[in-house]
Amino acid sequence: MSKVDLAQFHKAFHEESLDGLDAMEQALLALDEGADDPELINVVFRAAHSIKGGAATFGFTDVAAFTHVAENLMEEVRSGRRPMEKAVVELLLRSGDTVRDMLALSMAGKSAATADSQVLLAELSAMVSGGTAAAPAAAKVAAPAEAIEGWDIAFRPFDYLLKTGNDPARMFRELGALGPLRVECDAGKLPALADMDASSSYLGWTLHLDAGAKRAAVEGVFDWVDGDCDLSLTPRVAAPVPVAAAPTAPSAPRAVRDVTANSESSSVRVGIEKIDTLINLVGELVITQSMLSQFHDGVDASQLEMLRHGLAQLSRHTRELQESVMSIRMLPISTVFNRFPRLVRDLAQKLDKKVVLDLRGETTELDKTVLEKIGDPLVHLVRNAIDHGLEGPARRLAAGKSDTGTLRMEAFHRGGSIVVEVADDGAGLNRDAIVAKAVQRGIITSGDGMSDEAVAELIFEAGFSTAAATTDLSGRGVGMDVVRRNVMDLGGTVGIRSTQGSGTTFTITLPLTLAIIDGLTAAVGEETYIVPLVSIVESVQVKPDAIRSVAGGGELFRFRDHWLPIVRLFDVFGCDGRRLAIDEGIVIVVEGEGTRIGLFVDELIGQQQAVVKSLEANYRRVAGISGATILADGSVALIADVTGLVRMQGRKKAA
Amino acid sequence: MNEQASTASAASDEAAQYLTVNLGNEEYGVDILAVREIRGWTPVTRIPQAPSYVLGVLNLRGAIVPVLDLRLRFGLAREEYTATTVCVIVMVAGRQFGVVVDAVSDVVDVAPGAVRPVPDMGTTVDTEYLKGLTSVGERMVLLLDVDRLLQPQDAQMLEAALASPEVKAVA
């Protein structure tokens, strides 16, 4: 018989382990803040325990060995032999990072034991085997294991225990393996036979283990029913060793436990391909519906009303279906926010600053694609806020503020968009320094008459990068252009508000979903292109005498107070443009990355919602095109990439 | 593992099936396992900056699929699209694309032993797109290497030419 191929479970193990590590990190951070909840300690312990178990099963021995030691350390904390102190949290946080790396290496089929992990393993082992704070803690709470003669265990499962797949008999057998076991059964709660539900558990037991087993070994037996039963462990001690009152394992199900149980059952892991297919199909349905809706005229009048009614229904259903399907890929922003407590803690520690992180609107849902891409820009903003925005405690006190800075991250809906704000109550942007820098860089000639907003905008200029960090100005320029570009790539915008002395707020506005955009359909020669509505400023008809040609063949036209370059789409896309005279077509003024250009097209056809399809999936990226969509007649139209066109224009100018 | 390997080799001993298509008076074979469907010719949407043999993209039940013309790919002149002109949708390495040919004709079984190397002459086609040739009765069938039709090196060259420094930096 062939062996079961364990490799098929590796991915699941990896994902679950990462989830476990996330939960562990959150619990550790809460403990670090001084939260005193035994359940948090249990969460950390359980995470380490399951990763160890999984790693051993799948043959990742390095990971198993490492987590084993971490688990032992947690065990000491859990059993009360060691207080949960800063050093322990610190070490366990670093262990979590290491396990993450080790898991990645293991999944890549490499040896997971690295120099880093060896060093950390040594530290962990040193701490476990009686280092630092172990001794006093041990004396305070529990008797040394050697003195224990046996255990009295009161075990009463809650009635649903059997449904969790646990079998008391198996647990007793396991206990029996530790030494001679006497079992008393309490059948007092057993109902009359007629009232009995065979899948409920009515029995309670008192077990006497006549062997000096370690607490960990005894507790280990009950690991899986932790929280599903009343359990108390009382060591029987031989000599007059001081005994603490029986430290009990959880004696009642706690609210925290219930919460975790609920959140586990309310979410499902779904393969993204499946969802993509579904979205495709629904998008198709939308198109069919709009196709049908064009039939109105050709139908016999008597049936028309019915058809119209049916279509109205179809359209309502389609939209609902589409919304619900799209909601599948919406995830709460907490999945991104969760990484920040750790980041903020580490950064604040490194920079000797006091920072409180205030997370709000964590349940706000974003498209998964957006979530994946928004993380890096947010990290950038947070890092900048702590590094340059927030002052150290001394400077804050001197400025009359509390010594602890506040960093607020908030997500909320506004109109059809989602807004993510990163706000600090630090020093704010230094207007003079920014202006000086911008003048030096040749971006502006002088700051006179510029509004504060316009000055703040300057930090997004590419030229502002890196060198700005060395000056005394808030240094927000480090890579800010990258942040803006990443947000732009998601179809969003970044705004900035700053008051000198009292803080800076970055506002990222993102479209609700990437899958559907509102667009303006434009004809260019024989072809049809879609221009996203969000980037359109205005459409204007330009008179030939409003055009100025520039050396090198460029054309500029006057739009309000500015001269904007004209980009003839038929040139860029190489189609047969019919209208060459500027007053026969129309100019769409669009804005990308803060720059405006005029796109010259033959005519505007109309406005429509477009289901965005990828061109790269089967073909490749095309300059100036961000994707494709399917029109009501089933044909394909390409969507213009305004940001790309602006950049192309900029390059042409530079060349 | 061993079992799998042996079934795989057993399969390769068996005859592979090829869909034969016509291009002028030549006959080409496309591995039938790569063929997803055969559709009549419908107009496509042109893509900017595409090589001449890429006619454009079409809507295949919601997916945007590029279509290339096999005649143009092989440097032949494109004749009028007729009633028999078809578009064969193939899937290679998870990507779908359409290949426009003059007509489809047949499905033939080709035993591995019956595949001969392509001599360096006698075809209008660059031999790098061919896996070999075989004879079916009196007919000669050139077996296409579909993987190479949307050639990666081509695509890379094009991308390198188009890619701006910024685009690279983002990627």
Q: What are the pLDDT digits (tens) for A312-331?
A: 777 777 777 777 777 777 78
Across the interface, of A2, A628, A634, the residue whose CB is closest to B57 is A628
Here the contacts of A8-14 (C-beta below 8 Å, separation 24 or greater) are A9/A58, A10/A58, A10/A107, A11/A107, A13/A54, A13/A55, A13/A57, A13/A58, A14/A103, A14/A107
**A191 contacts: CB under 8 Å, gap ≥ 6:** A202
Where b means 16+ CB within 10 Å and e means fewer, A73-110 reads: bbbbbbbbbbebeeebbebbbebbebbeebbebbeeee
Phi-psi category of residue B49: left, alpha or beta, with phi > 0 → left and psi -120 to 50 → alpha: left
Torsion of CA A585, A586, A591, A597, to 10 degrees: 50
Q: Given a cut of 60, is residue B153 above it in pLDDT?
A: no
Q: Is residue A231 within 8 Å of residue A192, measured between CB atoms?
A: no
**pLDDT tens digits, residue range B37-85?**
999 888 899 999 888 889 999 998 888 999 999 888 887 787 778 778 8
Q: Would the CB atoms of A619 and B61 count as touching at under 8 Å?
A: no
pLDDT category at A421 given cuts 50, 70, 90 is very high
**A522 contacts: CB under 8 Å, gap ≥ 6:** A528, A529, A530, A531, A569, A588, A599, A601, A602, A603, A604, A605
pLDDT category at A199 given cuts 50, 70, 90 is confident
**Please, which residues bridge with residue B40 across strands?**
B86
Q: Is residue B18 within 8 Å of residue B29, measured between CB atoms?
A: yes
Domains of chain B: which residue ranges?
16-163
Q: Given a cut of 60, is residue A132 above it in pLDDT?
A: no
pLDDT category at A410 given cuts 50, 70, 90 is very high
**B72 contacts: CB under 8 Å, gap ≥ 6:** B52, B53, B55, B78
Does the CB of A637 have a partner CB in chain B at under 8 Å?
yes
User: How far is residue B72's CA from residue B100's CA, in Å, rounded to a whole number?
Assistant: 10
Instruction: Say whether the ipTM exceeds 0.85.
Output: no
User: In chain A, where does the domain assigned CATH 1.20.120.160 lie?
Assistant: 6-129
B127-138: average pLDDT:
83
The answer as to CATH 2.40.50.180 being correct for domain A516-653 is yes
Q: Is residue A350 within 8 Å of residue A386, measured between CB atoms?
A: no
Q: Would the CB atoms of B63 and A635 count as touching at under 8 Å?
A: no
Q: Is residue B107 within 8 Å of residue B20, measured between CB atoms?
A: yes
Residue A548 distance to chain B (closest CA, Å) = 28
Residue to mutate among A613, A618, A625, with most B CBs inside 10 A, is A618
Chain A: residue whose CA lies nearest to B64:
A615
Domain A149-236 class, CATH top level: alpha beta
Q: Would the CB atoms of A617 and B166 count as touching at under 8 Å?
A: no
pLDDT category at A427 given cuts 50, 70, 90 is confident
Architecture of domain A331-465+478-511: 2-Layer Sandwich (3.30)
Q: Given a cut of 80, is residue A48 above it in pLDDT?
A: yes
Structure confidence at residue A522 (pLDDT)? 93
Q: Would the CB atoms of A638 and B47 count as touching at under 8 Å?
A: yes
**A539 contacts: CB under 8 Å, gap ≥ 6:** A520, A586, A587, A588, A589, A604
Structure confidence at residue A531 (pLDDT)? 93
Q: Would the CB atoms of A613 and B62 count as touching at under 8 Å?
A: yes
Residues of chain A positioned with their CB less than 8 A from the CB of B160: none
Q: Which fold has domain B16-163?
A: OB fold (Dihydrolipoamide Acetyltransferase, E2P) (2.40.50)
Lowest mean pLDDT among A136-145, A201-210, A513-522, B116-125: A136-145
Structure confidence at residue A414 (pLDDT)? 76
Lowest mean pLDDT among A187-196, A389-398, A522-531, B156-165: B156-165
Q: Would the CB atoms of A617 and B63 count as touching at under 8 Å?
A: yes
Residue to mutate among B44, B45, B89, B92, with most A CBs inside 10 A, is B45
Q: Would the CB atoms of A638 and B62 count as touching at under 8 Å?
A: no
Q: What average pLDDT does the structure give for chain B?
A: 77
Q: Would the CB atoms of B64 and A617 count as touching at under 8 Å?
A: yes
Residue A360 distance to chain B (closest CA, Å) = 30
Structure confidence at residue B158 (pLDDT)? 47
Structure confidence at residue A259 (pLDDT)? 37
Question: Which tops the pLDDT comparison, A21 or A296?
Answer: A21
What is chain B written as a DSSP string? -HHHHHHHHHHHHSPEEEEEEEETTEEEEEEGGGEEEEEE----B--TT--TTEEEEEEETTEEEEEEEHHHHTTPPP----TT-EEEEEEETTEEEEEEESEEEEEEEE-GGG-BPPPSSS-SS-GGGEEEEEEETTEEEEEE-GGGTS-HHHHHHHHHHH--HHHHHH-
User: In chain A, where does the domain assigned CATH 3.30.565.10 lie?
Assistant: 331-465+478-511
Q: Would the CB atoms of B159 and A620 count as touching at under 8 Å?
A: yes
Structure confidence at residue A463 (pLDDT)? 62
pLDDT category at A255 given cuts 50, 70, 90 is very low
Most confident of A517-521, A618-622, B128-132: A517-521
Q: Would the CB atoms of B47 and A622 count as touching at under 8 Å?
A: yes
Q: How far is CA A60 from the centre of its chain?
A: 27
Does the CB of A572 have a partner CB in chain B at under 8 Å?
yes
Structure confidence at residue A331 (pLDDT)? 82
Phi, psi of A360 (to 5 degrees): -135, 155
Residue A273 distance to chain B (closest CA, Å) = 12
CATH number of A6-129: 1.20.120.160
Structure confidence at residue A513 (pLDDT)? 67
Residues of chain A positioned with their CB less than 8 A from the CB of B54: 619
User: How far is residue A285's CA from residue A283's CA, in Å, rounded to a whole number?
Assistant: 5
Question: Which tops the pLDDT comparison, A623 or A242?
Answer: A623
What is A142-173 written as a DSSP string? ---GGGEEEEEEEEEE-TTGGGGT--HHHHHH
Q: How far is CA A43 from CA A37, A140, A263, A332, in A?
A: 10, 24, 14, 22
Q: Given a cut of 50, is residue A68 above it in pLDDT?
A: yes
Report the predicted TM-score, pTM, of the whole model to 2 decimal places. Answer: 0.52
Structure confidence at residue A577 (pLDDT)? 62
Q: What average pLDDT does the structure give for chain A?
A: 77
